Amino acid sequence: MIGWYVHDHGWGHVTRMQAIRAHLHGEVTVFSTLPEPASLAAGTTWVQLPSDAHPVVGTDGIRRDARELGDVTAGGALHWAPVRHPGHQERLAVIAEWIARKPVAAFVVDVSVEVTILTRLLGVPTVVLAQPGERTDAPHRLGYDLADRILTPWAEGTIEAVELADRADRVHHVGAVSRYDGRARDAGAAPDLDERRVLFLSRTLDAPRLQRAIALLEAAGWIVETAGAGDDDRVDDVWPLLCRATVVVSAAGQNGIADLAAADARAVVIAQERPFGEQDDTARVLAAHGYALTAAEDVSPEELVELVHRAASTSPRWDGWRVAGAAARAAAVIEEVAA
pLDDT for the residue numbered 9: 83
Domain shared by 21 and 141, yes or no: yes
pLDDT digits (tens, 9 = 90+) for 231-279: 889 898 999 999 999 999 999 999 999 999 999 999 999 999 998 989 9
Residue 157 class from Cβ within 10 Å (0-12 exposed, 13-18 middle, 19+ buried)? exposed
* Domain containing residue 7: CATH number: 3.40.50.2000
> Exposure pattern of 37-65 as b/e (b: 16+ CB <10 Å)?
beebeeebebbebeebeeebeeeeeeeee
CB 323 within 8 A of CB 181: yes
pLDDT for residue 277: 87
Residue 230 lies in a domain: yes
> Has residue 170 been placed in a domain?
yes
Say if residue 133 is in the same domain as residue 281.
Answer: no
Is the residue at 130 inside a domain? yes
Per residue in 208-223, pLDDT (tens digit) is: 999 999 999 999 999 9
Confidence at residue 185, expressed as pLDDT on a 0 to 100 scale: 80
Residues 22 and 51 in one domain: yes
Same domain, yes or no: 154 and 24 = yes
- Give residue 151's pLDDT: 98
Q: Quick one: 202 and 152 in the same domain?
A: no
Enclosing domain of residue 207: 196-319
> Strand, coil or helix: what is 267?
strand
| CA-closest candidate to residue 241, choices 284, 278, 287, 191 | 191
Burial of 191 (0-12, 13-18, 19+ CB in 10 A): middle
Asked if 125 and 253 sit in the same domain, the reply is: no
Q: Could you read off the pLDDT of 256-266 as tens digits, one per residue?
A: 999 999 999 99
pLDDT at 190: 58
What is the pLDDT at residue 192? 61
Distance CA 251, CA 260 (A): 11
Domain count, the chain: 2
* 201 shares its domain with 110: no
The 10s digit of each residue's pLDDT in 95-137 is 999 999 999 999 999 999 999 999 999 999 999 999 999 999 9
Q: Residues 215, 190: contact at Cβ < 8 Å?
A: no
